[in-house]
Amino acid sequence: MNGWFDPDKLEKVFFNLLSNAFKFTPDGGTILLQLVPHQDRVEIKVQDNGNGIKPELHEQIFKRFYQKVALSHVHVKSSGVGLALSKQMIELHHGKIKVESVVGQGATFVVTLPLGHAHLKAEEIANKEVVMMANAVEQSADEMTSFDLNEPEETSEILSAALPLLLIVEDNAEVRHYIQSIFRSAYRIATAADGKEGLALAKKVLPDLLISDVMMPHMDGNTLCNKTKTNLKTSHIPVILLTARTEQNFRIEGLENGADDYVTKPFHAEELRLRVRNLLQNRRNMREKFVRVMHFEPKEITVTSADEMFLHRVLEIAEKHIENPDFTAEQFAYELTVSRPLLFTKLKALTDQTPNNFMKTLRMKRAAQLLEQRKLNVSQVAYKVGFRDTRYFSKCFQQHFKKTPTEYVAER
């Protein structure tokens, strides 16, 4: 058992519970994530108002390979492996999980974890990180309160820890399976047999990268690439096109349709692997660069025109509401004329920030600008960037800049 403790695995437990809640909650429903502290333990509850679970199934759903079909308008099947592994991981951490549900009134999954690390045996502690994590859970219990999850903010932050998802679109089954074998160990894989199927799947699963053959029935790779890059929902997805045709005009056509890279068949497995790795790394670098810079400059960030226009509009709306403490993600999406899930997806893909974090980052940067001007005191700056509570503003500022507002001004 030595070395089994892994904070990322506990994160995936809660991602799985939240993911199930989103699957089985109808449009317009409510999902609540609640942390309830006790003296020696903490309870984390994931509650939805979906169809609920019959009493006789409360134990079955934690068994491997149990299948449940959602009764909502979207028929979603779950293998049950996720809940089984979640239960196993929680029990390894000396915790418990149970479900409370009334049919027609939703379900609540309750996870109980002991606080501190006294309950752990010496051989169960791989290193000091286990103690730090246990103490962090205890500290969070004192600070956190329940909050509504109508928008998938926290779900997405947990999801970011998962392996990258590749979508492989190839009509030749043998080639498709070969490409899968190249990436299977380090990526999650989704596949489609033609461009039409690939486009539908890209919109549904929003992969981190798309690899597509060019010559395919129903919809070729160039058309698939063009439709992917011109649709706001998918325009951020890097695309690699594969083709056996070496003529320069075919390569140019693919690049004109927005392809991020172009690989000629037959290709070396390591070459394709490196091209995928580099594209994903470039995407991560772009997001990190956005977070670092004080002002957004499109020419310094390589994105498609659709994404440039989206980011310009996002920044314009965010700056307009920077003084408004009541500005919500729902209003953000409304003014952008997109859905809340799409706002979250695009911002996360392009900036690695959720809408709430995006606004907080912008407010912190504006606060720094105002403090540097030395025309307003800290309280006045706090109000100018949408904070009602000066102490909370100072806390957020210190978290962002690693120094208090007063210290920041003194160094300028």
Structure tokens at 15: 């991602």
Q: Which strand ranges, in their side-by-side order, compose the sheet holding 96-101?
A: 96-101, 107-114, 41-48, 31-37, 147-148
Instruction: Please report, in tens digits, the pLDDT of each residue of the chain (412 residues total).
Output: 333 444 555 666 787 788 778 877 877 788 888 888 888 888 999 988 888 888 888 887 777 545 443 333 333 334 344 677 778 778 877 889 999 988 888 899 999 988 877 777 665 554 444 444 444 444 443 333 333 333 333 333 333 346 889 999 999 888 888 899 999 888 999 999 999 999 999 998 889 999 999 889 889 998 999 899 888 888 888 999 988 765 566 566 656 667 888 888 878 888 899 999 988 888 777 666 555 544 444 334 445 567 777 888 888 898 889 999 889 888 998 888 888 888 888 888 888 788 888 899 889 989 998 998 888 899 999 999 999 889 999 999 998 889 999 998 888 7
Please give the pLDDT value at position 156.
38
Cis peptide before 298 (omega within 30 of 0): no
Residue for token pair 């903490």? 42
Please give the pLDDT value at position 128.
43
Distance (Å, rounded) from C-alpha 61 to C-alpha 130? 29
Helix 305-320 vs helix 329-336: crossing angle, to nearest 10: 130
Please give the pLDDT value at position 209.
94
Structure tokens at 22: 């989103």
Q: Which CATH number fits domain 7-150: 3.40.630.30, 3.30.565.10, 3.40.50.300, 3.60.20.40?
A: 3.30.565.10
Please give the pLDDT value at position 272.
92
Residue for token pair 């009509």? 171
> Do strands 209-213 and 239-243 pair parallel, antiparallel, or not at all (unpaired)?
parallel
Structure tokens at 306: 């659709």
The predicted-structure confidence for 203-230, as pLDDT tens digits, reads as follows 988 899 999 998 898 899 989 998 998 8
The neighbour count for residue 9, using CB atoms within 10 Å, is 16
Segments making up each domain of the chain, as ranges: 7-150, 165-283, 293-412
CATH superfamily of 293-412: Homeodomain-like (1.10.10.60)
| 47 neighbors 108 (Cβ within 8 angstroms) | yes
Angle (nearest 5°) at CA 161 between 332 and 330? 10
Please give the pLDDT value at position 343.
87
Contacts of 265-274 spanning 24+ positions with Cβ under 8 A: 267/242, 269/182, 272/179, 272/182, 272/211, 272/240, 273/182, 273/183
The neighbour count for residue 307, using CB atoms within 10 Å, is 19
Residues 6+ apart with CB under 8 A from 387: 325, 363, 393, 396
* pTM listed for this prediction: 0.44
Query: What's the CATH fold of domain 165-283?
Result: Rossmann fold (3.40.50)
Domains 165-283 and 293-412 share a fold: no
DSSP label of 164: P
Distance (Å, rounded) from C-alpha 375 to C-alpha 128? 46
Please give the pLDDT value at position 249.
61
Please give the pLDDT value at position 295.
44
Please give the pLDDT value at position 74.
36
Cross-strand pairs, 33:
46, 147
| 329 neighbors 340 (Cβ within 8 angstroms) | yes
